[in-house]
Amino acid sequence: MGKMNYTKIRTIDKPVARIALGSMVFTVRDDVTGCQWMEKTKKDSFLLLDEAYELGYNTIDTAAIYADGESELCIGEWMKHSQNREQLFLIGKGGAICRHLRPYSPEAIIRDVMVSLDKLQTDYIDVYLTHHDNPEVPVEEIVDAFAYLQGKGYIHGYGGSNWSDISRTQRAVEYALQKGYPPFLVCEPGYSLAEPVYPSWGEREENLNHPSKKRNLAYYQETKMTLFTWSSMARGFWSGVFDRETFPRYKDTWDQTCVRSFCHEENFRRMDRVKEYAGRIGATVPNVALAWLLNQPLDIHPIVGANSRSDLVSNLDALDIPMESSVLKWLNLETDERPW
């Protein structure tokens, strides 16, 4: 079994797991029958969180809207029960759900941070991000709000998720520097070996393995911006459960966002290559797909969901798979020449 390794984000003196745990399906309910997005009872959620923590997953990605707000409640109750808050690195997101406030306005961001602190039963969130971007809100206003929150100690770092217009990210970085504020530290785009044919979460989402986001990818490579990437396994496309031959059996019952966004011919071509390479090195399809991300020339922390301890263990195995640039390009269909 592989072993978790850690990095640090500049200005934050706490280890950050190389692979972050997604928390979209955690809840505090005893029965989740018929509840959209809620797949785990409170007991299930606590068990998986315990197992993840035991295996070294100290970094948890959550958001105000996950599981209709219950993800934060669950994590807060679990941390209180486990007495491990100081050992955890929490990523929070919000800014959109305030009915009477402009989405991602300073007022909405500050309000959501305070609500999240209460749900998480903590005095601070390690890194807080706007869940999406609102181009109608000046970047400067957003950064001012984050600087205020960090000055009060409510957050220890900030950034943006799905800031698809990279010029706004650049301006946020520059403005924080000009004002002498704490830096704009983190971005959270979508990224996996599978290219999204259709957006998973809306037209303004930021997914780096899409031709329209080459400029974003280049900026992150140049600046070494810390990235936490969502849909790192393409919502189950890289689960290893199906391939192009067996996909028809799963098409109607599999996650329909995955089917719509990722289950297309170009990605099945990538899957053919992943299967070939996995067989060559004695790995699994999920291992190779995750290793592809981990070996990108980026400061990257994939966010990966898990349904069981075996999923958590499998993720760690990907940390031990090195990939040369030629392999990365071949798997992503950038060349047809096999690198061996």
Strands 158-161 and 20-22: unpaired
Distances 98 to 69, 103, 111, 160 between C-alpha atoms, Å: 13, 7, 8, 18
Give pLDDT, residue 37.
63
pLDDT at 63: 97
β-strand partners of 207:
190
pLDDT of residue 204: 81
Q: Which helix (H) or strand (E) holds 71?
A: helix 70-82
Written as one letter, the residue type at 158 is Y
Task: State which H helix or E strand residue 200 sits in.
Answer: none
Instruction: For residue 176, give both structure tokens.
Output: 């924080």
Which residues have C-beta within 8 Å of that of residue 149, sequence separation ≥ 6? 109, 110, 113, 128, 155, 158
Which CATH code is given to the segment(s) 6-236+289-322?
Answer: 3.20.20.100
Angle of helix 309-317 relative to helix 42-54, nearest 10 degrees, comes to 30
The Cα 27–Cα 9 span in angstroms is 29
Q: Which residues are bridge partners to 256 per DSSP? A: none
Are 295 and 328 in contact by the 8 Å Cβ rule? The answer is: yes
Beta carbons within 8 Å of 254's beta carbon, 6+ residues apart: 236, 242, 263
User: Which parts of the chain have pLDDT scores under 50?
Assistant: none
Q: Are 155 and 149 in contact (CB under 8 A)?
A: yes
For every residue of 233-295, which 3-state class applies, written as one string?
CHHHCCCCCCCCCCHHHHCCCCCHHHHHHHCCHHHHHHHHHHHHHHHHHCCCHHHHHHHHHHC
Model pLDDT for residues 287-322, shown as the tens digit of each residue: 999 999 999 999 999 999 999 999 999 999 999 999
Alpha carbons 215 and 117: distance in angstroms, whole number: 35
| H or E element, residue 178 | helix 166-179
Helix-strand-coil percent breakdown of the chain, rounded to 5? 45, 15, 45
What value does the CA radius of gyration of the chain take, rounded to a whole number of Å? 19
What pLDDT does residue 98 have?
Answer: 65
How far is residue 123's CA from residue 118's CA, in Å, rounded to a whole number? 8
Q: Which helix (H) or strand (E) holds 161?
A: strand 158-161
Alpha carbons 314 and 109: distance in angstroms, whole number? 36
Measured at the CA of 317, the angle between CA 326 and CA 61, to 5 degrees, comes to: 100
User: How far apart (Å, rounded) are the C-alpha atoms in residues 276 and 299?
Assistant: 27
